[in-house]
Amino acid sequence: MPKGTLYLVPVPLADNAAQKSYTPYLTETINSIGEYIVENEKTARKFLKEAGISIPQNQLVIHDYGKHQRGGSLGEFFVGLESGRSVGLMSEAGCPGIADPGADIVAEAHKRGIKVVPLVGPSSILLALMASGFNGQSFTFHGYLPIDKAERGRKIKDLENNSIRFKQTQLFIETPFRNTPMLEEILRSCNPRTHLCIACNLTAEDEFVKTQTIADWKKQIPDLHKKPTIFLLSGL
């Protein structure tokens, strides 16, 4: 019996952004799938409804791959796929597998010889890079930086040096409630001539994307508290 296909289903980055996030092909695809692996069942069902799923919700099979379900065997998630049923993998926001624990599911699918199909949708990393004006041919995403203040300062300086040495855009994120101290550390650590792009609440109604020098950012510091944000550094 042929195996099923694992579809990687992107979800909106912000509230009220469904229209910006879903393609007709994605809607068509989710209406051919009755089984999903998700981080949060409640939000996953909401996203599927917004995307236009017509299959009754009580007929869907939803596997919880939240933080309390990780670390054990992945076998239970692949019963349907191994028996020929296609399954959708959903992140909590954005693209599955990108800064997302769903990468473990994708890796296991490859080990089992299961076809993996990524669907088009919003990636905050790529949207920020597109809008920054920085080098889009050479870039590195570092995820979260160290929490310790001294270590974080040294890491930011390293990223700034790498951006100059390799002419490479450096991207990183922070937990939204720690954005303010992160920005303060960037402004304290970096050369005034270094360019910083702040991409905040992407695809939301109050989306904010701006690139300028560290010196110019110091003149007017934006409020990023509890707002999903990507920081990009470039020595240009």
Judge if 65 and 15 occupy the same domain. Answer: yes
Judge if 134 and 114 occupy the same domain. Answer: no
Judge if 76 and 100 occupy the same domain. Answer: yes
Judge if 206 and 139 occupy the same domain. Answer: yes
H or E segment at 143? Answer: strand 139-144
Query: Domain span at residue 161?
Result: 124-234
Residue 135's alpha-carbon distances to 140, 163, 215, in angstroms, are 10, 10, 21
Judge if 78 and 136 occupy the same domain. Answer: no
Return d(Cα 167, Cα 95) in angstroms, integer.
27
CATH number at residue 183: 3.30.950.10
Return d(Cα 195, Cα 209) in angstroms, integer.
13
Judge if 128 and 230 occupy the same domain. Answer: yes
Judge if 87 and 32 occupy the same domain. Answer: yes
Task: Please give the residue that has the higher pLDDT: either 67 or 51.
Answer: 51
Crossing angle of the two packed helices 179-189 and 149-165, in degrees rounded to 10: 60
pLDDT at 126: 96
Judge if 82 and 143 occupy the same domain. Answer: no
Query: How many domains in the chain?
Result: 2
Judge if 57 and 157 occupy the same domain. Answer: no
3-state secondary structure of 77: helix
Return d(Cα 187, Cα 75) in angstroms, integer.
47
Return d(Cα 209, Cα 197) in angstroms, integer.
7
pLDDT digits (tens, 9 = 90+) for 102-154: 999 999 999 999 999 999 999 999 999 999 999 999 999 999 999 999 999 99
**pTM, full prediction:** 0.92
Return d(Cα 212, Cα 201) in angstroms, integer.
18
- Among the candidates 71, 96, 118, a domain finishes at 118
Structure tokens at 201: 């609440």
Judge if 114 and 139 occupy the same domain. Answer: no
Return d(Cα 85, Cα 25) in angstroms, integer.
19
**Confidence category of residue 73, pLDDT binned at 50, 70, 90:** confident
Judge if 163 and 227 occupy the same domain. Answer: yes
Cβ atoms of residues 15 and 125 within 8 Å: no
pLDDT digits (tens, 9 = 90+) for 193-207: 999 999 999 999 999
**Cα angle value 233/16/100 (rounded, 5°):** 50
- Among the candidates 88, 118, 148, a domain finishes at 118
- Among the candidates 64, 90, 118, a domain finishes at 118
Judge if 128 and 187 occupy the same domain. Answer: yes
pLDDT digits (tens, 9 = 90+) for 175-229: 999 999 999 999 999 999 999 999 999 999 999 999 999 999 999 999 999 999 9
CATH number at residue 75: 3.40.1010.10
